[in-house]
Amino acid sequence: MNSKQFLQIVLGHIRSKEAKQHVQTELSQHIQKNKEVWLTQGYNEEEAEKKAVLAMGPPTTLGKSLNRVHKQKIDWLLLVIFGAILLLGFLPLLTLDVELDQQLLIRNKIVHVLVSFSIVLGMMFIDFRKWAGWGYVFYGLGMGFLILLTFFSTHHINGEPFFFRLNAWFTLPLFCLAWAALLAKKDFPLWQLGIFVFGSLMLFSFVANLNVLLLYLALLFVLFSSSALSKKKKAIIVSCSILLVVSITLYLVINYRNGSIATYQLARFWAFLDPYAYGDTEGFLYVRFADIIRQAHWFGSGSTFILHEAHTDFVLVHLIQSFGLATALGIVVLLFVVLYRCIRIATNIHHHFGRLLVVGALTLFAMQLLYSIAMTFGIVPITSFSLPFISYGLSTTILNAFFIGIALSVYRHQHRQFPSIS
């Protein structure tokens, strides 16, 4: 058997086209080296090649072995848990206030689940490495959409601009991809970094969505900390960040002393610190949440308080009230398992862009989860943070599905670094 026939049999058992190219190159080099050894011992070309091929072992066995090595892997545990969480997202809709159209919400939720699962599966089969050189493009798309919202919005809801049904939440995946690609470069210019950060923060301040701004700031901080930038550049960034925080704090203090901060804004802040003193006004929800948790059972329904936004922003409180602490705890545990799996993926991959990509997605997912839990127990101020995949809503469900898809894509391709064949 000559080398051409040998390689044909081996490659016939390998499914990945990319792996085939690598294996063919590596095996050809091994055969050539062995062939040269036999040539120095006096064998002719044909005999030396046959002996070199024979030394490689049975081609069928080798081909099957290499196919297993280079086979793309799927994190089935993460995928199954994701599917289970999507199904558990129907629970809050089963015990809603009679004033809401329950059947319509359930039908919409089915659409949300199908779209989200399709996004995750589609993202999983995309090779994330193809995005590594598109950092400027993704940043431009994110900035372009913020400009579209700021100057060409179709309508506003509570002061927040929308372009049809799209709002600032949809920029977060774009900026996650952008910053992961840009910060994976060791030579990314610091002046560009400053301009890009300042420009994006200015536009985010115009869209009147504090939650998205907080998520974006968390994304920047975590990705900068994990980036390939030098220690000197990181020190400069940290110094500028500290200066910015101090400036904002001084600005707020000065406005407070001058009476520039609105009365209702101050009332919300003091109500968070002492909710019972404002129990009939701004502190009402804090008191009600505390009562619901205090009267909750481990299994089954507890208090009968009517909660507005029970299926969206306050879904965890609604679960505790309607199904008991055990059900709510079980769902939270599953969500933390998703976090754990993403952390494992991020720590095991050696591809720097891939690691930053998962870390960014993990940060955005974790912020929503942790804030929703902390808000339920009165640890942080109440605001519109959804519980991922459990809260009703197409926007956040799609975006979090995108983040899970990123993690699965990185996991699927992280083993394909093509180590040298020995």
Range from 76-85, 107-116, 346-355 carrying the lowest mean pLDDT: 346-355
Query: Which residues are bridge partners to 157 per DSSP?
Result: 160
Q: Which two tokens stand for residue 413?
A: 């391709």
Residue pLDDT, tens place only, 348-382: 888 889 899 999 999 999 999 999 999 999 898 88
Report the amino acid identity of residue 61.
Answer: T
Residue pLDDT, tens place only, 246-259: 877 776 667 666 66
pLDDT of 405 over the 80 cut: yes
Instruction: Kindly provide the b/e burial profile for residues 383-410, where b requires at least 16 CB atoms within 10 angstroms of the residue's own CB.
Output: ebbbbbbbbbbeebbbbbbbbbbbbbbb
Q: Considering only CA atoms, which of 60, 56, 40, 69 is closest in space to residue 3?
A: 56
CA distances from 156 to 166, 216, 393 (A): 11, 21, 17
**Residue 216 has what pLDDT?**
92
Q: Which two tokens stand for residue 298?
A: 């481990």
**Residue 262 has what pLDDT?**
61
DSSP 8-state class, residue 277: G
Neighbours of 163 (CB within 10 A): 15
What pTM value is reported for the model?
0.80
pLDDT confidence band for 68 (50 / 70 / 90): low
Instruction: Report which of residues 90 and 304 the model is more confident about.
Output: 90
Residue pLDDT, tens place only, 165-223: 888 889 999 999 999 999 988 888 888 888 998 899 889 888 878 889 889 999 998 99
Q: What are phi and psi of 224, to 5 degrees?
A: -65, -40
Give the residue extent of every domain in the chain.
3-69, 72-132+277-422
Q: Measure the CA–CA gap between 220 and 105, rounded to whole angstroms.
A: 35
Name 104's Cβ contacts closer than 8 Å, sequence gap at least 6: none
Q: Considering only CA atoms, which of 401, 342, 389, 318 is closest in space to residue 116?
A: 401
pLDDT confidence band for 31 (50 / 70 / 90): confident
What is the SS3 assignment for 407? helix
